[in-house]
Structures are given as C-alpha cells and as structure tokens.
C-alpha cells in the first residue's frame, strides 16, 4: 500500500492494527492523542526568556600539542524543563546538549565512550572524516555497562561544523530525542575569519513533554513523519535572550539536532552572511541573506549583523515538506532565540575576507548510481512484517547486507530519487559530497545549487532527485540513510563497502 492509499484507508477511521495500537498507546499523553486525532493539542508551557548560554566545552585532557583526549559518559539524567516537573533524559557527562567538542584539523583525537544508558548505543561522529571502524555505526554497538575507545587522526585540510550522536540499530531516534547529541567543531589551523566575530554554537533540539513531565514515546504519526516536538530549544533553553551591543557582528554555528524538523529560519531584519556548510567554508562569504534553511541534521556557519538597537528574533518560517495523516503541527513562527541589541556600540571589527577557500570542481563521475527512496505503509503482511517500512531501492536496511560496492578515491554520482510525497534529508557517512543539481521528477527541470558547498546531508524534496558528487577517501563499510531518524530506524538506510 502506498502512502496516499494508507492515508485514505487509515486516517479516516484511525483503525490501527492491534500491534500498531499497542505500539502507540502506552504513555501517550491526552494532548498528544488529541494531536494525533487532529484536534486541539495543549502542550505544556515552558518558561522563556532565560539568559542565553553557550554550550560548555569538553575539556582536553591531552598534554601534547596536536592531540585531544577526553571521555564521554552517556547515562540517564534528569532535567527540569518546566519548574517543578522532573523529566528523565539521556545526557553525555550529565549535559544535554552534550558538551561541545572543539578540535583542530590534523589533531589526534581519542575519546573514551562509557555507555551507562541501559541499552546498546554508539557515538557517530557525524560529518567528521574518521576511519570506518571508528565511525560509531550500527554495526559496532557498545553494550550497556561497557566502554569503547574511539580514536582517529583528523586529516589536514578538513575543517567543518560537525556533531556527534548515537547510531545504534533501530534505537537512534529515541536516544537522540531523549537528549544525546552534541556539537563537534573542527577548526582550521589558520582561521580566515577574525576571532572578534566570536564562534557560538546554536544547537537546536526539539522537545515533547507529557503532562507528567516525561517524554512520550514515538507514535505511529511520528514513525511516518518523523517526530516533531512541542518546543524548539536552543542549547537546551526555550527562546533564551542574548544581549549585544549595536554594530555587533556575531558568528553562529547553527546545528539542526532535531529528529525531523525542516528549519527555515529568519532573524527578522538582521541579515545572515553565509560562511560555511556541514563540511566547512564556502569559497566566499555570501552576505545579505534574509533566511537560511536547515534540513534535519544539517549545519550552517553564519555571521549575523545586529547593526542597530532593537529586538531581533530567530524564528521559523513556513516550509512545506509534506505531511502524512492528522496532527500536522504548526511549525511556523516558533521563536528560537531573542537578541536584544543595546544602544551602546561595539568596537568595529575587521571585515570578513573576500575569499575563504577554494572548493574543487569534482569533474565527471566514473560511476553513476540510482537510489530510490520509498515508503511502504502496508499492513502486518508488509515488508518485514513490521507494518511500516522505509526503504531504499525497495529494501529495508540490513546490516548483514552490502548494498553498494565502491572504491577509495572514485568519483561517483549518486542520483537519490524521492518519488514519495514527503521530503527526506539524505546523509552519507565517511566524507562530504557536493550537490550537483536537483531534478524535478515530473518536468525533468534541472536546478543547480546556488554555489559550491561541501555537505554531508542534503534535503531531497518530494518529487525530486538530488544528484550528488560522492568520493570516499577511506576504505570500509559506510552507512547512508534518511536523517529523519524515525525513517532511518524503519529502514531507509543502506551500506556501501568502500574498497581500498
Ligand atoms: Cu525520510
């Protein structure tokens, strides 16, 4: 059964199978059930307006230069999002968001991971070019109560805005929405952007709370669409307030660490200058942007100009990404961060450089691959007997099956086709890629991206194909998948074996 037929059959009556009903009912809040039915939905109110806070950095325990060593312990913890209500969460070193890891290109990195969350987990270094056996992929789970040393040397020439999060088989979505994710910044040895611009991570997460303060499990609607919470948080706070002097130009690293939000963001009258994407700098700063777009898991490096006194709010704009079933949340005009610009003026900064770096034209591929994203909403007889499956080339993920075979250094074009009626953000492990063009599947119209950029996740809009220029530089097994985490867990994922 395809998605539309499922909608017609299922949404009118919400006649779920018994298994689906059992999957969805326990712990579901009244408000959420109403939300799922498409009616009124009263989310708990969260306090807003606290003073903005930066995420604290993970301290470097290494003593020699060019090395970074630390440990990360994932464990159950508690947070108080609503005063007086204690929420069980998952945290790294007691923090959610997890501590910021800041390293330099070329560094030797050693991180001891201790898993105390009560089930398997991993740490995936999202966007960081690490060897395949250090990638924290689902094939190498870390059992509860055990430790694992991750170690890798960062290549010289890679700097970017990355992050880390769990990637255990079929448990990624829950572990991330319960709190396990942090930023991982790789700095160039010589940063072309003056230090006076600062460097502030804005880690965006998505929180849903039941009336008792707990985080309800995913519903069937969440499995279909990806989990959309009730509150977007920045560095763990709802709409905190940052006060700056007039004339401030501030560098922000935007990290979409939500399970499934397509974030189209504006700062009102304060314009963005684009500096970089997932895999580091653009070739030149792009000033005068009134909005930015971050599909799930993507990052942007930007400077925002707060020229004149006043109030500026980072908030979501409408974006149509496709929605299945009832209960589509109102995801526009959500306030993320309020910036109060005082009348005192900041000292002027040196200008941004005219050029940031060169990004190579990848040239023509020697291999072309076609990957087709699919949604199968069939009943209990459906794929794998799970009732709902997300697929690539009609197959659900199987970690014992290699889907593609590649070679180190080989330039490939991956045409990721999305004939479904919902956008899917596509992520490839191992190395950044470039978007060559988007193709409209109906008209064949081809749209190149506005500029060269290194990405590790790209939105594949519904009814389109994304042609990606992919080159893996290290051997081993790599995952590729939709980064709506519920879709990943339901099987929209595959494995490429990169041969030396
Ligand atoms: Cu998806």
Which domains does the chain show, CATH number per domain? Answer: 67-187 (2.60.40.420), 195-345 (2.60.40.420), 367-499 (2.60.40.420)
Answer yes or no: is pLDDT of 12 > 90. no
Summarize the confidence of residues 424-433 as an average pLDDT.
Answer: 98
CA distance 362 to 206: 36
C-alpha torsion sign, points 202, 216, 71, 170: negative
Which helix (H) or strand (E) covers residue 224, if one does? Answer: helix 220-225
Q: What's the pLDDT tens digit per position in 161-218?
A: 999 999 999 999 999 999 999 999 999 999 999 999 999 999 999 999 999 999 999 9
Q: How far is CA 332 from the centre of its chain?
A: 19
CA distances in angstroms from 74 to 114, 134, 218, listed in the order given: 6, 17, 21
CB atoms within 10 A of CB 243: 12
CA distances in angstroms from 8 to 4, 43, 305, 326, listed in the order given: 6, 28, 48, 11
Which residues sit with Cβ closer than 5 angstroms to ligand 1, an ion? 424, 482, 484, 487
Q: Is 7 helix (H, G, I), strand (E, B) or coil?
A: helix
Question: Are 261 and 273 contacting, i.e. CB atoms less than 8 angstroms apart?
Answer: no
Q: How far is the CA of 263 from the centre of ligand 1 (A)?
A: 15
Q: How far is the CA of 41 from the centre of ligand 1 (A)?
A: 25
Percent of the chain predicted with pLDDT > 70: 90
Confidence band, pLDDT 50/70/90 cuts, at residue 328 = confident
Cβ neighbourhood burial of 161 (10 Å; 0-12, 13-18, 19+)? buried
Answer yes or no: is pLDDT of 145 > 80. yes
Question: Are 485 and 457 contacting, i.e. CB atoms less than 8 angstroms apart?
Answer: no
pLDDT of residue 320: 95
Question: Are 16 and 23 contacting, i.e. CB atoms less than 8 angstroms apart?
Answer: no
469 closest CA partner among 447, 496, 436: 436
Give start and end residues of each alpha helix (H) in 94-188. Answer: 172-177
C-alpha torsion sign, points 320, 270, 159, 173: negative
CA distance 294 to 444: 25
CA distance 296 to 378: 26
Q: How far is the CA of 432 from the centre of ligand 1 (A)?
A: 19
Q: Which two tokens stand for residue 265?
A: 């963001």
Q: How far is the CA of 487 from the centre of ligand 1 (A)?
A: 5
Q: How far is the CA of 416 from the centre of ligand 1 (A)?
A: 12
Residue 40, CA atoms < 13 Å, CB-side half-sphere: 2
11 closest CA partner among 327, 253, 400: 327
CA distance 493 to 491: 5
pLDDT of residue 326: 86
Q: What's the pLDDT tens digit per position in 82-99?
A: 999 999 999 999 999 999
pLDDT of residue 26: 36
CA angle 327, 231, 289 (to 5 degrees): 100
Question: Are 436 and 467 contacting, i.e. CB atoms less than 8 angstroms apart?
Answer: yes
Contacts of 336 (CB under 8 A, 6+ apart): 202, 204, 232, 234, 239, 265, 313, 314, 315, 316
pLDDT of residue 387: 66
Question: Are 203 and 180 contacting, i.e. CB atoms less than 8 angstroms apart?
Answer: no
Q: How far is the CA of 425 from the centre of ligand 1 (A)?
A: 6
pLDDT of residue 388: 79
Q: What's the pLDDT tens digit per position in 218-233?
A: 999 999 999 999 999 9
CA distance 244 to 51: 12
Question: Are 388 and 490 contacting, i.e. CB atoms less than 8 angstroms apart?
Answer: yes
Q: What's the pLDDT tens digit per position in 379-402?
A: 544 444 456 789 999 999 999 999
pLDDT of residue 376: 84
Answer yes or no: is pLDDT of 6 > 90. no
pLDDT of residue 33: 44
Answer yes or no: is pLDDT of 149 > 80. yes
Q: How far is the CA of 111 from the centre of ligand 1 (A)?
A: 30
Answer yes or no: is pLDDT of 429 > 90. yes
Answer yes or no: is pLDDT of 77 > 50. yes
Q: What's the pLDDT tens digit per position in 447-463?
A: 999 999 999 999 999 99
Question: Are 75 and 116 contacting, i.e. CB atoms less than 8 angstroms apart?
Answer: yes
Question: Are 16 and 220 contacting, i.e. CB atoms less than 8 angstroms apart?
Answer: yes
pLDDT of residue 379: 53
- How does DSSP classify residue 443? T
Among 16-20, 305-309, 462-466, the range scoring the smallest mean pLDDT is 16-20
Radius of gyration (C-alpha) of the chain in whole angstroms: 22
Q: What's the pLDDT tens digit per position in 13-42?
A: 333 332 333 333 333 443 444 344 433 346
Answer yes or no: is pLDDT of 410 > 70. yes
pTM, full prediction: 0.92
Q: Which two tokens stand for residue 143?
A: 């059992």
Contacts of 330 (CB under 8 A, 6+ apart): none
Average pLDDT for the chain? 91
Q: Is 282 helix (H, G, I), strand (E, B) or coil?
A: strand
149 closest CA partner among 198, 178, 109, 190: 109
CA distance 182 to 98: 4
Q: How far is the CA of 396 from the centre of ligand 1 (A)?
A: 12
- How does DSSP classify residue 132? G
* Token pair 């913890």: residue: 77
483 closest CA partner among 231, 149, 150, 257: 257
pLDDT of residue 116: 98
Q: How far is the CA of 426 from the centre of ligand 1 (A)?
A: 8
Q: How far is the CA of 492 from the centre of ligand 1 (A)?
A: 7
CA distance 257 to 274: 19
pLDDT of residue 294: 98
pLDDT of residue 40: 38
pLDDT of residue 41: 45
Q: How far is the CA of 107 from the centre of ligand 1 (A)?
A: 34
Answer yes or no: is pLDDT of 118 > 80. yes
Q: Which two tokens stand for residue 297?
A: 């898991």
Q: What's the pLDDT tens digit per position in 333-353?
A: 999 999 999 999 999 999 999
Answer yes or no: is pLDDT of 329 > 70. yes
Residue 488, sorted as left (phi over 0), alpha (psi -120 to 50) or beta, turns out to be alpha
Q: How far is the CA of 92 from the centre of ligand 1 (A)?
A: 26
């Amino acid at each position: 059964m395809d998605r539309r037929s499922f909608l017609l059959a299922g949404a009118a009556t919400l006649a779920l199978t018994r298994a689906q009903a059992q999957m969805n009912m326990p712990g579901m809040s009244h408000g959420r059930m109403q939300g799922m039915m498409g009616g009124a939905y009263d989310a708990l109110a969260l306090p807003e307006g606290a003073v903005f806070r930066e995420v604290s950095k993970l301290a470097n325990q290494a003593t020699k230069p060019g090395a970074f060593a630390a440990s990360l312990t994932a464990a159950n913890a508690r947070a108080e999002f609503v005063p007086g209500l204690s929420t069980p969460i998952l945290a790294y070193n007691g923090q959610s968001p997890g501590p910021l890891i800041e390293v330099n290109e070329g560094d030797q990195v050693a991180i001891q991971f201790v898993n105390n969350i009560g089930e398997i987990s991993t740490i995936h270094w999202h966007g960081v070019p690490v060897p395949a056996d250090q990638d924290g992929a689902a094939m190498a789970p870390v059992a509860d109560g055990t430790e694992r040393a991750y170690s890798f040397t960062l290549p010289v020439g890679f700097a970017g805005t990355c992050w880390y999060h769990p990637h255990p088989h079929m448990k990624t979505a829950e572990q991330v929405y319960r709190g396990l994710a942090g930023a991982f910044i790789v700095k160039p040895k010589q940063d072309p952007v003056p230090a006076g611009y600062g460097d502030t991570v804005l880690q965006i997460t998505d929180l849903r709370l039941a009336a008792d303060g707990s985080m309800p499990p995913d519903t069937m609607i969440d499995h279909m669409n990806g989990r959309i919470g009730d509150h977007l948080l920045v560095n763990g706070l709802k709409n905190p307030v940052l006060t700056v002097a007039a004339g401030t130009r501030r560098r922000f690293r935007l990290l979409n660490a939500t399970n499934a939000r397509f974030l189209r963001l504006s700062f009102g009258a304060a314009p963005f200058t684009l500096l970089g994407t997932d895999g580091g700098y653009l070739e030149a700063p792009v000033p005068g942007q009134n909005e930015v777009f971050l599909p799930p898991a993507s990052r942007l490096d930007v400077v925002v100009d707060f020229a004149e006194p006043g109030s500026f709010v980072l908030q979501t704009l409408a974006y149509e990404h496709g929605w299945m079933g009832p209960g589509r949340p109102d995801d526009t005009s959500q306030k993320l961060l309020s910036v109060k610009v005082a009348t005192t003026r900041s000292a002027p900064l040196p200008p941004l450089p005219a050029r940031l770096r060169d990004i190579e034209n990848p040239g023509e591929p020697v291999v072309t691959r076609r990957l087709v994203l699919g949604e199968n909403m069939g009943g209990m007889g459906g794929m794998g007997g799970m009732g709902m499956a997300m697929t690539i080339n009609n197959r659900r993920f199987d970690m014992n099956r290699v889907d593609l075979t590649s070679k180190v250094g080989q330039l490939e074009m991956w045409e990721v086709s999305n004939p479904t009626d919902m956008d899917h953000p596509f992520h490839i492990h191992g190395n950044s890629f470039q978007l060559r063009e988007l193709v409209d599947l109906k008209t064949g119209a081809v749209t190149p991206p506005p500029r060269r950029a290194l990405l590790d996740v790209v939105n594949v809009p519904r009814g389109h194909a994304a042609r990606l220029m992919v080159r893996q530089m290290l051997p081993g097994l790599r995952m590729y998948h939709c980064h709506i985490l519920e879709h990943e867990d339901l099987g929209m994922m595959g494995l490429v074996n990169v041969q030396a």
